[in-house]
Amino acid sequence: MRLQPLPSILSGVLIRRETLGDAEIIHSVTAAAFARPGEEVPVEAPLVGWLRASKAWIPELSLVAVGPGGDVVGHVVCTRGKVGPAQALALGPLSVRPDRQRRGVGQALMHAVLGAADALGEPLVALLGSTGYYPRFGFRLAGEYGITPQRPEWGEHFQVRTLTAYDPAVRGGFAYPEPFDRI
């Protein structure tokens, strides 16, 4: 069997943990990725800072994608959420700089953060996002696992990716960390 080569458009992009000094550029990348007409700074940009300052922050799970020139072109973060009393992860925001989108950077960040979460022994990751994008990373509608979103209207987009330590007995309401309540 021949292995397919990775797309050359992704060549030179590396994924690493966020380090001291990355916060400002992550803010810029997030603001650019989520830019909407009529909104000066999309709320997803300060949200990353609020999460970083909260007890929900997990330093191992804030990852950046670095381009060949050393510039940060994408970011993803998972923070501490819960399913009932059980620990879980909330994924997001996920951001790729608009001029670097559709080249596999988002995909690389997703695989990296899910692998890191699995290596840390985390049981599952939840997110609110497009069902056109996330199922390719193993996400399914959370209802399939008996996990419900904080707001019922999220149901169509609220998804869960189970990891090796997943326990099917863990069911119930998912709670995002507090900073998500501010958006």
Ligand X SMILES: CC(C)(COP(=O)(O)OP(=O)(O)OC[C@H]1O[C@@H](n2cnc3c(N)ncnc32)[C@H](O)[C@@H]1OP(=O)(O)O)[C@@H](O)C(=O)NCCC(=O)NCCS
Q: Are 127 and 139 in contact (CB under 8 A)?
A: yes
Q: C-alpha dihedral over 124, 144, 142, 81, to 10 degrees?
A: -40
Task: Note whether 96 binds ligand X by CB under 6 A.
Answer: yes
CA–CA dist 179, 79 (Å, integer): 10
Task: Note whether 42 binds ligand X by CB under 6 A.
Answer: no
Q: Which stretch binds ligand X (CB under 6 A): 16-24, 52-60, 104-112, 146-154?
A: 104-112
Tokens, residue 140: 């399914």
Q: Which stretch binds ligand X (CB under 6 A): 87-95, 146-154, 160-168, 170-178?
A: 87-95
Q: Which is nearer to ligand X, 129 or 138 (CB)?
A: 129
Tokens, residue 170: 């863990």
Task: Note whether 133 binds ligand X by CB under 6 A.
Answer: yes
Task: Note whether 78 binds ligand X by CB under 6 A.
Answer: no
Handedness of CA 24, 31, 126, 124 (dihedral sign): negative
Total of chain residues touching ligand X, rule CB under 6 A:
17
3-state secondary structure of 50: helix
Choosing from 16, 39, 71, 102, the residue that interacts with ligand X (CB under 6 A) is: 102
Tokens, residue 158: 């609220």
Task: Note whether 103 binds ligand X by CB under 6 A.
Answer: yes
Which residues contact ligand X by CB under 6 A? 33-34, 92, 94-96, 101-107, 129-130, 132-133
